Each structure stands twice: as structure tokens, then as C-alpha cells.
Amino acid sequence: MGGRVNEDLIKERRKCTFDIKELTHIIDCGEENTIKRKQIDNYILNIKELWDDVPEEYLSHKERYENAIKKAFIVLKVLRQLHTGNIQITDHRTPTNVYSIQDGIFRNVNPLLIHIGLFWSTIAAQASTEQQAEWLQPDSSMIGTYVQTELGHGSFIRGIETTATYDSTTDEFILHTPRLSAYKWWPGGLGNTANACLVMAQLYINGTCHGLHIFLAQIRDFDTHKPLPGIKVGEIGPKMGFNTADNGFLGFDNHRIPRTNMLMKNVQVLRDGTYVKPKHDKLTYGSMLLTRVTLISDLAYQLSKAATIAVRYSAVRRQSPIKSNEPERQILDFVSQQHKLFITIASSHVYRVVGLWMWNSHKRVTADIHEGNMGQLPELHALACCLKAISSRDASALVEQCRLACGGHGYMMASNLPQIYAYTTAAVTYEGEYTVLLLQTARYLVKFWRLAAEHKPLPQNFAYFEDYIKKNFEQWRNSPEGIIEGFKAIVAGKTKAAYDTLQCNLRNGREFEEAWNMASVQLTNASEYSTISRNDIEALQSRYEELLALIRPNAVGLVDAFDIRDEVLCSTLGAYDGRVYERMMEEASKSPLNEDVVNESFHKYIRPVTMKNKL
């Protein structure tokens, strides 16, 4: 859409006091990454077949999938070309990879998300060198997915019921779904698209269960795409979001696969049925750990999209004067609006930085694991659980806050905020449900509190537990360092309270698991345990209001620095030129309900009632 940029946005951009490009380069981790990102953006976003004539919302469930799959394979082809050209596009250091562009192309979810994100990465991380050489071919016919969750079990994966029983007479595993609750349910791309999958199943050898292991199974014929004998597979139906993700169900009826299809980098089953244990029994959970780490950066990116839309809209939207004799003000001038939006900008930066830090930690710990050193794995797991849980919960709350900050227009699908919310809130559940993951971190914290309570030596990272016990915490200071100290006090105080409740339940004769369950609300909720006083809170509040005023002139510059193209934002409210009302009217004109001046339902249903006695 051509035309002038909105006057208010032009003025906002003139007010900006910093170099927007410089911030963009910081976000991209360097100017060279910005250049590379823009090249990829230009290349992919210029492919005309990727753009819809009819907005996705007007398509049926089936049409949406078919449209998404058409685009998914155009993108896959481009990905392969770019890989061949040695362009690294899936580097999680920055949101500059192809995942961000996909948000625009699909507006929903790429049905190949799990194929690209989890299937290949799990093979790369958990398959032996020989298996990788065979399966990780660039021209492979396999379209895969990650099949773990069942109808009956998602969080408690030890409860998974699918079995893989070794048959030494034929050197095969027999995959089987013993009952309805054991049907696999949810995997992305499984419904219609995948012809292969990585299945999480209980391994049985000679009647002994060795727990969960991962197996590669072909489920559809590579040529005809028909389900193989013994496979029942299909799609699970419409959801709140993720409607192009092609989530599916899968059951096995004694389906046989070669023994060599178990992922054998960390654990092996030999020809005679000998089981060779892994060095750490949770290495099989490695893909979940990696995805939790990468999700933090993805959620930061979703926050930057929501903030861009809501801030630009708030600069363009005028509603109510502040003083009665004034013209109506930009809604961005209301301090309550600034509070809603600036916290979203800030959170995006926080999770971007933390996501990058976690990505580097993951690389380091994985390198250690390759050397046989598992020492850092528990801490990485505890951190990934906590950060995945809170980043997804914060992101969905803040995206919703941005949507509400756009008033009624934020409720329009064409604002794209409802889709961003549906995508973001799904992350609170998948890849480890919020509460369940927080309880994993709580388990880790309680372990170290026990050491502190028993006055045993603590690792450096937990020295503050000892400080708390010895009341060594400093008086509250209204400074960044003071706030960090305050958070440490809260964690220590909260962990102590939960630990004390746990001990009390144990003393009252409860078994540990029952006592843990009774303490679980305390284990997941935080309260104030620091030395902060009422006066400190008042001082912090006024400092916060000062900061809002300082950020105000730079708000539009800050979101421009995220440098998200209009084709990716897909929002009538958030486009760079701020021509909100023109875009809204243009989108409305695409509604099929505007095709006929008089809809045929008038003659069929309305007129016979309203004109009945007047004919």
C-alpha cells in the first residue's frame, strides 16, 4: 500500500535520541548479521507464491492446511538451497533466522516446524555417527516429527505406555499401542504431512523394561504417502491456535522396525539383546532441554512483534484530551499506556539476552557431555525449566496486555495480536507445562537448601542461601545491584518456607511425594522476603515513573530498532507507515460478506420473517 507516512509517526521518529541502526545491530549481534538477515528477508519475502490473495481467516480448516503446506515446501526448498550455499540461517543467537520470517508467511504455524526444529536436531544429537550418516542426507525423502505425548500422558513421561519390544529372532523392535490412552496425540506435522517419526517408547528386552528410548519409525509410504500396514494415523482437529501445524494422532499395531532404528549415540541394544546403559539416564530428554532453551529467544521475538504493533498504534491513535481545552492526545501519552507497553519492550530485551546466554551455556554443557562430563547438566536443566516457564507465561501475559492496549481494534484478527497471543500461550503448555517445569526447578533449589540448612558446603551459585541463614543480607538499596540482592533474598526466603513446610509434612508422617504435593503451591509461588520497606517501594515507584517519561520520546525508535518488516508483522495496526485506518478499511473490504450488496440469507431467512405480514 503506497502513501504518506502518518504525521505523528514522522514526529516520533524525529524525537528519537539514539541511533536506531546501532540498536538493531546490537539486537542482531553485529552489523554483519543484520546484513545477512536482510538478504534472507528480501530473498524469501519476494517469492510471490508465498502471499495469499484471501486472508487466512476466511479459509476452511482443510484449505488452511493445504495453503500452509504449499508454502512450507516452497520454504523448505529455499532452505535447502541456502544450506547448500552455506548460509547459516538457524543460528539461535539472534531472531534473524528463517523462523521469524515464517511468522509472516504462515501467520500461523509452519506444518514443518517440528520436522525442521525437532526431528533433525534430535537425530543430530542422539543418533550414532553411522545412523547420522544414513539419515541426515540433504536429499532425504523423510519428512519427520517428534512423537512423544500420548492421549493419557503428557507431563509425566515416565507414564508413557507405547512399547518397543526387542525380538532377537528377527533383530527387530515391535512398536505397539496397547490401549486408547497410549495413542500418540499432538505431534506437529503428524496429521497429514510426516512419513517418518521419532517415537518415545518404553523399551522391553526379555521381559525387562529399561524405560523410555527414542526410535525412528517410517509411518507412511515414501511414494504413495499411504499409512504403512499396522499404522493408524490422522489429524486431531481445530485448536485455539496452531491450526496449520497439522498436529496428529498415531497408533501402532505390532509395527516392526529394525533394531538399528533405535537412536544409539548414548545408549545401545546389541544384536544379542544386551542393553548398554547411557552415562546419564536423562540424556534421552535432551531434545526437550534444547527446545526449552531455544524457546526463550523465540518468545522474546514474539514480544518484540507485539510491542512494535502496540507502540506504533499508540503513537497514531488519538483518544481523549488530557486537559479539557486541548486536542485529543496520542494514547502513548497516557502514563498507564506507557506502563503497559514499555515493560513489553524491556521484557523482549531481557529474554533476548537471557536466551542468548542460555544458548551459549547449552553449547558449553553439550561439549562437556561429549567429553563424558555430566556435572553441569542438572543446573542447565533447572535453569531451562524455570526460564522456559516464566518466559512463556510473561510473554503471553504481555502480548495480551498489548492486545488490550489497542482497544477494540486489537481484537481484530487483522491486528495480528490474537494470532501472536494464541501462538505464545501454547508455549506455556507444550515442551513442559508451566507448573510442572517450575516444580523441577523447585526440586533443584530445595536440594541446595537442605545442604544449607545442614551447614554443608554449597556451590558458589548458592552462597546466598548461607547469607540468608546467617542474616547476612544487606539493607535494601534502590539500585540494580540492590534489586538483584532483593531477588536473592526472595528466592532464599521462599525456598526456606517451602522446605520448612515439606519438613513439617514429613514430621507429621507423610511420605515424601505426598509431602511434596502438599507444599507445591509454596514451591511455585513467590512472595516478598527481602528487607524492602514501604518507603523503598514508594521511591522505586517514582523512579519507575521517571523512567517511563525518559523512554516516552524514544518509544517508536525502540520498536523500529527491532526492524521487523511489515510482511512479518502482518498487522493493520503496526505497519511502519502507521496508515492504520486505511489498512483497516482495505482489510474489511476483503471480507466475503462484502461480496454481495445483499447477502442471499436476507431472501432466505430474514425477509420471510420481517416482511411476513406486509406482503
Cβ–Cβ < 8 Å for 159, 220: no
Helical segments of 329-433, H only: 335-370, 377-405, 417-429
Query: Closest distance between ligand GRA and the C-beta of residue 432, in Å?
Result: 3
Q: Which helix (H) or strand (E) holds 31?
A: helix 31-45
**Distance in angstroms (rounded) separating the CA atoms of residues 358 and 381:** 11
**Distance in angstroms (rounded) separating the CA atoms of residues 148 and 185:** 8
* Comparison of 380 and 555: residue with beta carbon closer to ligand GRA: 380
**Nearest residue to 116 (alpha-carbon basis) of 124, 108, 128:** 124
Choosing among ligand FAD, ligand GRA, none, which partner's interface includes residue 435 (Cβ < 5 to 8 Å by kind)? ligand FAD
- Of 161, 431, 454, 514, the active-site residue reads 431
> What is the distance of C-alpha 326 from the center of its chain?
44
273 annotated as ligand-binding: no
188 annotated as ligand-binding: yes
* Comparison of 237 and 321: residue with beta carbon closer to ligand GRA: 237
**Distance in angstroms (rounded) separating the CA atoms of residues 258 and 166:** 10
**Distance in angstroms (rounded) separating the CA atoms of residues 90 and 83:** 10
Cβ–Cβ < 8 Å for 379, 341: no
Buried b (16+ CB within 10 A) or exposed e, 404-418: ebbeebbebbbbbbb
Query: Please, what sign has the CA dihedral across residues 436, 440, 443, 445?
Result: negative
Residues with Cβ < 8 Å from 558, sequence gap 6 or more? 23, 311, 345, 551
Cβ–Cβ < 8 Å for 592, 58: yes
Q: Which residues of this protein are in contact with ligand GRA, per CB under 6 A?
A: 113, 146, 148-149, 155-158, 188, 282, 285, 288-289, 291, 377-378, 381, 430-432, 436, 440, 443
* Comparison of 330 and 435: residue with beta carbon closer to ligand FAD: 435
* Comparison of 99 and 166: residue with beta carbon closer to ligand GRA: 99
Choosing among ligand GRA, ligand FAD, none, which partner's interface includes residue 242 (Cβ < 5 to 8 Å by kind)? ligand FAD
**Nearest residue to 273 (alpha-carbon basis) of 163, 158, 128, 170:** 170
Query: Closest distance between ligand FAD and the C-beta of residue 125, in Å?
Result: 16
Residues with Cβ < 8 Å from 591, sequence gap 6 or more? 58
Query: Closest distance between ligand GRA and the C-beta of residue 609, in Å?
Result: 48
**Distance in angstroms (rounded) separating the CA atoms of residues 419 and 237:** 18
**Nearest residue to 575 (alpha-carbon basis) of 383, 305, 370, 174:** 305
* Comparison of 117 and 486: residue with beta carbon closer to ligand FAD: 117
Q: Which residues of this protein are in contact with ligand FAD, per CB under 6 A?
A: 114, 146-149, 154-156, 186-188, 242, 247, 426, 429-433, 435-436, 439, 520
CA angle 277, 279, 283 (to 5 degrees): 95
**Distance in angstroms (rounded) separating the CA atoms of residues 424 and 392:** 7
**Distance in angstroms (rounded) separating the CA atoms of residues 182 and 162:** 6
* Comparison of 188 and 410: residue with beta carbon closer to ligand FAD: 188
Pairing of strands 231-235, 208-218: unpaired
φ and ψ of 3, to 5 deg? 120, 170
**Residue 474 is among the residues annotated as catalytic for this protein:** no
Query: Closest distance between ligand FAD and the C-beta of residue 114, in Å?
Result: 5
Cβ–Cβ < 8 Å for 219, 194: yes
Query: Please, what sign has the CA dihedral across residues 347, 543, 24, 26?
Result: negative
Query: Closest distance between ligand GRA and the C-beta of residue 201, in Å?
Result: 14
* Comparison of 50 and 438: residue with beta carbon closer to ligand FAD: 438
> What is the distance of C-alpha 540 from the center of its chain?
32
* Comparison of 23 and 438: residue with beta carbon closer to ligand FAD: 438
The grid cell for 530 is 527481602
Query: Closest distance between ligand FAD and the C-beta of residue 145, in Å?
Result: 6
Annotated binding site for FAD: 149, 188
Q: Which residues are catalytic?
A: 431
